[in-house]
Amino acid sequence: MLKLEKVSSAYGASQVLWDVDLDITQGEAVALLGRNGVGKTTLLKTIMGVQSVKSGFISYDNVVISKHAAHRRAQYGLAYVPQGRGIFPQLTVEENLLMGVAALNGRDGISEKTIPDYVFELFPVLKEMLKRKGGNLSGGQQQQLAIGRALVTRPKILLLDEPTEGIQPSIVMQIEEALKHVSKELGVAILLVEQYLDFAWSFADRYFVMQRGRIIDHGATAEKDKDEVGRFLSV
Ligand SMILES: Nc1ncnc2c1ncn2[C@@H]1O[C@H](COP(=O)(O)OP(=O)(O)OP(=O)(O)O)[C@@H](O)[C@H]1O
Ligand SMILES: [Mg+2]
């Protein structure tokens, strides 16, 4: 479904990604692992189109999209939940979710005005806090809001950048359950950037390990010793 071939990317003269090959098929859960600063966020931005490709190709259903703008990629069904969440703090939970609804409209002739119920089934707390400002939610609730907003756009692929970072364990578990449901029941493909190896491992069908902007290992989680991958991540 999504395929990266020899993708390189740079900030000015400093190259961050080197010849990255990566693929995700429909409904699959894939973890992208790596230490701080290796280029994980840059890779997600490059897939989403907020960071440009220097060389190589990104294709979606065999169409090369490397030169397409981010909003066009969103229309193909790519959704991105940035690190640090990127919700609108001054808008209420409801308004934040309606921004997702607005983004969905026009795609494939869809016209929708309300927030779909499955978002509240996944994250009941969002229903309780509909009128509260995004900025007044806890970190974990903001993360749930950010994921909820991305799901409103009915993505085919969800790109998630460290959704458990700095979040209390009880909410991490809720997010974990919700993402498993989204992946297994709703059939949405997920590319998860994660430093919390246990979560990534319990969740993902396949993994990729990045080091200094290159993919140095990848495979099926079921066929790999988790601790061996852990050694790539510990400092
Ligand atoms: N806007 C930018 N301009 C210049 N360099 C940047 C920019 N954003 C990131 N970098 C550099 O690119 C490299 C990769 O950063 P990136 O944020 O992609 O890493 P990461 O793996 O997501 O790290 P973390 O685990 O800390 O989130 C780092 O050396 C970083 O300093
Ligand atoms: Mg990052």
- Rounded mean pLDDT, 14-20: 97
Q: Is the model's pLDDT at 108 over the cut of 80?
A: no
> Does any ligand 1 atom lie closer than 6 A to the CB of residue 16?
yes
Query: For the chain, what percent of residues have pLDDT higher than 90?
Result: 74
Q: Return the higher-pLDDT residue of 79 and 106.
A: 79
Instruction: Provide the residue count of the chain.
Output: 235
Q: Which ligand is nearest to the CA of 42?
A: 1
**Residue of the nearest CA to atom 10 in ligand 1?**
11
**Residue of the nearest CA to atom 30 in ligand 1?**
37
> Tens digit of pLDDT for each residue in 112-140?
788 999 999 999 999 999 999 999 999 99
Distance between CA atoms of residues 36 and 76, nearest Å: 30
Closest-lying ligand 1 atom to the alpha carbon of residue 34: 21
Domains and CATH numbers, the chain: 2-233 (3.40.50.300)
> Tens digit of pLDDT for each residue in 135-181?
999 999 999 999 999 999 889 999 999 998 888 888 888 899 999 99
Q: Return the higher-pLDDT residue of 194 and 104.
A: 194
Q: Which residues pair with 11 in a beta bridge?
A: 14
Burial class (CB in 10 A: 0-12, 13-18, 19+), 58: buried
Please, are residues 150 and 80 in contact by the beta-carbon 8 Å criterion?
Answer: yes
Q: Return the higher-pLDDT residue of 109 and 204.
A: 204
The mean predicted confidence, pLDDT, of the chain is 92
Q: Is the model's pLDDT at 94 over the cut of 80?
A: yes
Distance 19 CA to ligand 2 centre (A): 19
> Tens digit of pLDDT for each residue in 43-85?
999 999 999 999 999 999 999 999 999 989 988 899 999 987 7
Closest-lying ligand 1 atom to the alpha carbon of residue 43: 18
The pTM score is 0.93
Distance between CA atoms of residues 182 and 118, nearest Å: 10
Distance 11 CA to ligand 1 centre (A): 9
Closest-lying ligand 1 atom to the alpha carbon of residue 45: 18
Distance 47 CA to ligand 2 centre (A): 14
Q: Is the model's pLDDT at 106 over the cut of 70?
A: no
Pocket test for ligand 1, best of 8, 18, 40 (most atoms within 8 A of CB): 40
Q: What pLDDT score was predicted for residue 235?
A: 66
Q: Is the model's pLDDT at 110 over the cut of 90?
A: no
Q: Which residues pair with 180 in a beta bridge?
A: none
Q: Is the model's pLDDT at 109 over the cut of 80?
A: no
